[in-house]
Amino acid sequence: MTDRNREDVPKAEATSPSRRDFMKGSVAVGAGIVGAGALARGEDGSSVLGRVFGPSAAHAATTKGELAAHVPPGKLDHYYGFWSGGQSGEIRIMGVPSMRELKRIPVVGRDAATGWGRDDWSKELLGGRDSGDTHHVHLSYTDGTYDGRYVFVNDKANARLARVRCDTMEVDAITDIPNSQGTHGIFPQRNKTGLVLCNAEFRTPQPNDGRDLDDPTAYGAMHTAIDGETMEVKWQVLIEGNLDLCATDYQGKYSFATCYNSEGGTNLAGMMASDRDYLYVFDIPAIERAVKAGKTIKVGDGSVPVVDARGGNDSHVQRIPIPKSPHGVNIDPTGRYAVCSGKLSPTVSVVAIDKLGDVFAGKIKPRDAVVAEPEVGLGPLHTAFDGRGNAYTSIFIDSVVTKWNIDKAIQAFNDESVDPIIQKLDVHYQIGHINASMSETKDADGKWLIALCKFSKDRFLPVGPLHPENDQLIDISGEEMKLVHDGPAYPEPHDAVLVRRDMIHPSKIDPRTGPRYDYYNKLAKEDGVDLLTANKVIQKGKGRVRVYVVSVAPAFVLGEFRVKTGDEVQVIQTNLDGVEDLSHGFCMSNHDVNMVVNPRATNSITFTAGAPGVYWYYCPWFCHALHLEMRGRMIVEA
């Protein structure tokens, strides 16, 4: 359990040269302030941090037992929030509790500001597609908590899994998931940075090659395992039902998937016919033994081994009956329970994970693993945890968050006199996902809860037919939930996780490592140049030109280059400035060319030279008092 009277204070870092220092013409590296990892409170209830930096900087409770949601100017948030961006195809980084948006990471969509989806590296990574639907965002784990290495997010629209490096906060890999449509729920293993499990929500013919088009009984969906280190697809399990949300246990043995359409329906009425559907439980070691033994089938091009688990309970997969049309499945911080929300039932189902071994062994029936089913409200979707034995379930139809106690819910399963419900808090409106600070780990700390509400009518100034959504911040540090903040959000932040800031260590300048630099170093080796010094134009054959340019504020070292109309021009730019926050970029007038080049980074973009004339290229990122003078000419000859 987390000690509620402690305050997690991240270790301070030495500061790097700032842009302001650079502008003044001198670079001063200041010494960081060293703070303890967890400062205890003084006798008066204030924290040591609060006494040093002022009470508004203190993260922990005020004298009333409430958290301070306000973060003053110049002070830092205590949590990183990673929001998926939905139809925008991005990840958003928020500061919590301030709810300030810090960054948008373009993932599977084109971003005009940075050039993502237009520059060469990202264009190759995206494979010609520049839209998507990022639904669920999760960090990599070691020993049941975040290790600060990667962020994983799915693209539901195109059946892809993307990975973001936490040091650069940029995508470094995207994997296409074969034999799948509507890849929805994902979750990494929690015992190590091992597999990332991905659920295909939509049932399709397998193989989907034109046969069985009108026979839904032949449809199936894939539970896919992707190696979180290599981003390679390792294996798939074929299931007769669709697969919705995903979760993993803390030991690396099981993965889970809710199924809201066990009927196999293809329309709304058909998908709602049964009173119960399933929680699928996948035995990962058993599946891997079957793959190793070659007990697989060929689907599609046969490049990925597929275990066929259709048709009933077996040694690989068990089906736990739960009501009705379940959506979310969440594992409590102790690792003992899987909590499933039946969106067409007023109940959530609590499944005891330690009973699953007996289910697989045939010693008990699958339904016997259900140890509680409290009634929490109409339309439960997802559940978060505070590390003190309490759960918080989002209730879509009632527009509330229900706080309930897990142990009391288990007691109430056999004793109706026990009421596990602690509180219901109105939220505005139609809440979808919910998450609490560190809730998805063994270190859940019970401080903040985020409610991602789908509707916001009457909460903000009207802005036309497309309303913002409403992210609401709730203080859960005390006995009662307290709503402390409304925040309009551009559609559609689907899911979010809250991570202590001491677990994330972003780089201040580009580390120049990873697949991106494998790509650029290969080009430089091919041309016999050094990316850090090259300023030259290389003819790559008829109609192809490669331009190397380095930049140091406030100038492009290569101030002019000549090409011919119709030439394919690839500009490779390296930013030599090693000053924090001193990004450059490259924008070519009238050529749909714009990209960012961060401190010490290399980026490139390819385009076709237009009609004869002079075209100015310039730095679009403000970098110096002489920023407007940072430009050059592309001279296009007939």
The pLDDT tens digits for 43-95 are 333 333 333 333 333 344 443 457 888 999 999 999 999 999 999 999 999 99
Q: What are phi and psi of 36, to 5 degrees?
A: -75, 155
Q: Confidence class of residue 16 from pLDDT cuts 50, 70 and 90? A: very low
Per the domain annotation, does 389 fall within a domain? Answer: no
285 or 313, greater pLDDT: 285
pLDDT at 318 (0 to 100): 96
Per the domain annotation, does 375 fall within a domain? Answer: no
The pLDDT tens digits for 564-592 are 999 999 999 999 999 999 999 999 999 99
pLDDT at 268 (0 to 100): 82
Dist CA 322 CA 332 (whole Å): 18
pLDDT at 313 (0 to 100): 63
Dist CA 35 CA 386 (whole Å): 26
Which sign, positive or negative, has the C-alpha torsion 404, 408, 411, 414? negative
How many domains in the chain? 1
When pLDDT is averaged across residues 602-622 and rounded to a whole number, the result is 98
Share of the chain above pLDDT 70, in %: 90
- Is 90 exceeded by the pLDDT of residue 527? yes
Long-range CB pairs of 462-465 (<8 Å, 24+ gap) are: none
The pair of three-digit structure tokens given for residue 168, joined into one six-digit string: 């650069």
- Is 90 exceeded by the pLDDT of residue 200? yes
pLDDT at 5 (0 to 100): 34
311 or 91, greater pLDDT: 91
The number of beta carbons lying within 10 Å of the beta carbon of residue 616 is 12
Among 55-59, 352-356, 394-398, the range scoring the smallest mean pLDDT is: 55-59
- Is 50 exceeded by the pLDDT of residue 322? yes
When pLDDT is averaged across residues 363-373 and rounded to a whole number, the result is 97
When pLDDT is averaged across residues 168-175 and rounded to a whole number, the result is 98
Per the domain annotation, does 579 fall within a domain? Answer: yes
Residue 628, classed as helix, strand or coil, is: helix
Starting at the earlier edge strand, list the strands of the sheet with 326-331.
326-331, 337-342, 348-352, 370-372
Starting at the earlier edge strand, list the strands of the sheet with 170-176.
134-142, 145-155, 160-165, 170-176
Per the domain annotation, does 412 fall within a domain? Answer: no
Enter the pTM of the model. Answer: 0.90
- Is 50 exceeded by the pLDDT of residue 4? no
Per the domain annotation, does 113 fall within a domain? Answer: no
Torsion, Cα 370 376 379 380, to 10 degrees, reads -60
pLDDT at 43 (0 to 100): 31
**614 is in which domain, residue-wise?**
515-637
- Is 50 exceeded by the pLDDT of residue 3? no
When pLDDT is averaged across residues 176-195 and rounded to a whole number, the result is 96
When pLDDT is averaged across residues 208-236 and rounded to a whole number, the result is 94
Per the domain annotation, does 519 fall within a domain? Answer: yes
- Is 90 exceeded by the pLDDT of residue 374? yes
pLDDT at 336 (0 to 100): 98
The pair of three-digit structure tokens given for residue 3, joined into one six-digit string: 């000690």
pLDDT at 13 (0 to 100): 38
Among 204-213, 281-290, 506-515, the range scoring the smallest mean pLDDT is: 204-213
Q: What are phi and psi of 572, to 5 degrees?
A: -115, 110
Residue with tokens 């329309």: 267
- Is 80 exceeded by the pLDDT of residue 38? no
Q: Confidence class of residue 610 from pLDDT cuts 50, 70 and 90? A: very high
Among 20-29, 289-298, 624-633, the range scoring the smallest mean pLDDT is: 20-29
Rg (CA), the chain: 27
123 or 5, greater pLDDT: 123
When pLDDT is averaged across residues 90-102 and rounded to a whole number, the result is 97
Per the domain annotation, does 345 fall within a domain? Answer: no
Calculate the average pLDDT of the chain: 90
pLDDT at 217 (0 to 100): 87
- Is 70 exceeded by the pLDDT of residue 35? no
Dist CA 112 CA 130 (whole Å): 12
Q: Confidence class of residue 607 from pLDDT cuts 50, 70 and 90? A: very high
The pLDDT tens digits for 486-506 are 999 998 889 999 999 999 999
pLDDT at 361 (0 to 100): 95
Nearest to 8 by CA among 35, 42, 43, 32: 35
DSSP 447: S
pLDDT at 28 (0 to 100): 33
Per the domain annotation, does 177 fall within a domain? Answer: no
Share of the chain above pLDDT 90, in %: 83
- Is 60 exceeded by the pLDDT of residue 32? no
Residue 538 belongs to domain with CATH number = 2.60.40.420
